[in-house]
Amino acid sequence: MKLKHLLAGTAAALALAPLAAMADGHMTRGSSGHLNIIYWQAPSTLNPYLSGGTKEVESASLVLESMARFDESGTMVPWLAADIPTVENGGIAEDLTSITWTIAEGVTWSDGTALTPADLIFTWEYCTHPEGGCAQASYFDGVTSVEAIDDSTVRVNFETPHRSPTQPLSAPRARSFRPHNSPIVLARVPLNAPRPISARSALVLSLSPSSVQMT
């Protein structure tokens, strides 16, 4: 009986040790450098266009990215883009029937090849193909064409004035893909691109039946 109580006491002490360390200032939350995101179910794909689930979309954000994102204050910030198109800077047509994006200088795929308008055009073609089954097709509603203006500029044209012209290539689930005739590269880290949020190039995604662990 004494041994049983001794073991129970030891286990309790070990369990409370991290809390005591935090209380003494020797350990702070997040000091280990690890972030665990626990879902009710493991992600089933890293292709956000084939799933409407949050767990897939958030996992895919490690390897597929959009032209712009929102920061913690809800402000749209450039991500793969050089800047945010607006009517004032000429990036959005005054009649809201087109938007022009410029890819930030130095953005590459993980194999070192440049991100080009062809990748953005393919993203639109891939998601709007009638036999593709894209779960995010609604983000491209009203888009009549996506065309390359030059080696780093692409214009999205709308059938009618669009109330949110930035949506097709910068919505939370609208991310750039590679054309099918390019080398298959699942993981992509933009290099030397503006990073308003801390770089995630050191994050490694590992899937398990009950969690997504990023280390």
Domain at 49, CATH number: 3.90.76.10
Regarding whether 161 and 57 lie in a shared domain, the answer is yes
Q: Is the pLDDT of residue 58 over 60?
A: yes
Q: Is the pLDDT of residue 196 over 50?
A: no
Regarding whether 85 and 22 lie in a shared domain, the answer is no
Cα torsion at 51, 55, 56, 61 (round to 10°)?
130
Question: 117 falls in which pLDDT band (50, 70, 90)?
Answer: very high
Regarding whether 57 and 22 lie in a shared domain, the answer is no
Measured between alpha carbons, how far is 158 from 135 in angstroms, rounded to an integer? 20
pLDDT digits (tens, 9 = 90+) for 3-46: 555 445 545 554 555 555 555 556 677 777 887 777 788 888 88
Regarding whether 166 and 149 lie in a shared domain, the answer is yes
Q: What is the pLDDT of residue 89?
A: 96
Q: What is the pLDDT of residue 199?
A: 30
B/e letters for 102-136, b = 16+ CB within 10 Å, e = fewer, are bbbeebebeeeeebbbebbbbbbebbbeeeeebbb
B/e letters for 8-24, b = 16+ CB within 10 Å, e = fewer, are eeeeeeeeeeeeeeeee
- Name residue, tokens 């996992």: 59
Mean pLDDT of the chain: 73
Q: What is the pLDDT of residue 29?
A: 73
The encoded tokens of residue 76 equal 């749209």
Helix (H) or strand (E) holding 148: strand 143-150
Regarding whether 188 and 125 lie in a shared domain, the answer is yes
Q: What is the pLDDT of residue 149?
A: 97
Instruction: For residue 136, give the nearest of 38, 45, 18 by alpha carbon.
Output: 45
Question: 49 falls in which pLDDT band (50, 70, 90)?
Answer: confident
Regarding whether 208 and 167 lie in a shared domain, the answer is yes
Regarding whether 97 and 51 lie in a shared domain, the answer is yes
Q: Is the pLDDT of residue 128 over 80?
A: yes
Please state the domain count of the chain: 2
Residues 143-172, mean pLDDT to the nearest whole number? 91
Q: Is the pLDDT of residue 182 over 90?
A: no
Residues 106-120, mean pLDDT to the nearest whole number? 88
Regarding whether 202 and 170 lie in a shared domain, the answer is yes
Q: What is the pLDDT of residue 66?
A: 87
Measured between alpha carbons, how far is 131 from 143 in angstroms, rounded to an integer? 18
Regarding whether 203 and 139 lie in a shared domain, the answer is yes
Q: What is the pLDDT of residue 36?
A: 77
Q: What is the pLDDT of residue 3?
A: 53
Regarding whether 74 and 15 lie in a shared domain, the answer is no
Regarding whether 126 and 160 lie in a shared domain, the answer is yes
Q: What is the pLDDT of residue 177?
A: 53
DSSP code at position 145: E
Instruction: For residue 200, give the nearest of 58, 63, 81, 42 by alpha carbon.
Output: 63
- Domain span including residue 69: 39-214
Instruction: For residue 131, give the nearest of 50, 74, 77, 18 by alpha carbon.
Output: 50
At residue 68, what are phi and psi to the nearest 5 degrees?
-145, 160
Measured between alpha carbons, how far is 80 from 91 in angstroms, rounded to an integer? 15
Question: How much of the chain, in percent, has pLDDT values that exceed 70?
Answer: 67
Measured between alpha carbons, how far is 160 from 154 in angstroms, rounded to an integer? 18
Q: What is the pLDDT of residue 17?
A: 53
